[in-house]
């Protein structure tokens, strides 16, 4: 059964296609999915800065702290240098998982839209993402 059939019922069986957002959230299928897949989340509050941000701070964009990496990271498929997305220090996000002995989470993405492996991980916005944990 397709997602829309689960949400709205089959139109030839009198299913509704005109739900308001409030009605949509209350459908049994959405309520079940919310209950089953709910997770704790952190709301980030990114802001633009006038100058570069210290690489020893949690941040989106800018220059990453590369002290924990031997070389600037490159895509393991197309070999292009990765784009830095964000870094989170454990001191700022203690509720998140960090491997023992690591206190820095870094996320990079392959910038190559024609990378043969770019779409291999469907939940990561279509671009291959790379995760590093450093100290």
Q: How many of the chain's residues bind Zn ion (CB under 5 A)?
A: 6
Q: To the nearest whole angstrom, how small is the minimum distance from the Cβ of residue 114 to Zn ion? A: 9
Closest by CA to 129, choosing from 105, 109, 113, 99, is 109
Among 7, 115, 124, 129, binds Zn ion (CB under 5 A): 115
How many Å apart are CA 130 and CA 81, to the nearest integer? 11
Using the contact rule CB under 5 A, the part of the chain among 17-25, 26-34, 58-66, 115-123 near Zn ion is: 115-123
- Is 124 among the residues that bind Zn ion (CB under 5 A)? no
Name the one range near Zn ion by CB under 5 A: 6-14, 16-24, 33-41, 78-86: 78-86
H and E: helices and strands count for the chain: 3, 4
Shortest Å, Cβ 116 to Zn ion: 8
The one segment of 31-39, 46-54, 74-82, 93-101 that binds Zn ion by CB under 5 A: 74-82
* 3-state SS string for 43-80: CCCCCCCCCCCCCCCCEECCCCCCCCCCCCCECCCCCC
Q: What kind and span of H or E run contains 31?
A: helix 28-37
Can you give the binding site for Zn ion, defined by CB under 5 A? 75, 77-78, 110, 112, 115
């Amino acid at each position: 059964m397709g997602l829309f059939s689960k949400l709205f019922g089959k139109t030839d069986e009198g299913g509704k296609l005109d739900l308001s957002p409030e009605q949509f959230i209350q459908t049994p299928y959405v309520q079940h999915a919310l209950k089953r897949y709910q997770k704790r989340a952190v709301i980030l509050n990114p802001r633009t800065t006038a100058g570069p941000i210290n690489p020893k701070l949690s941040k989106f964009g800018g220059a990453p702290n590369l002290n924990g990496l031997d070389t600037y990271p490159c895509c393991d498929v197309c070999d292009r240098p990765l784009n830095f997305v964000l870094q989170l220090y454990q001191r700022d996000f203690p509720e998140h998982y960090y491997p023992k002995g690591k206190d820095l989470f870094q996320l990079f993405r392959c910038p190559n839209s024609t990378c043969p492996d770019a779409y291999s991980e469907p939940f990561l916005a279509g671009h291959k993402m790379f995760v590093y944990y450093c100290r």
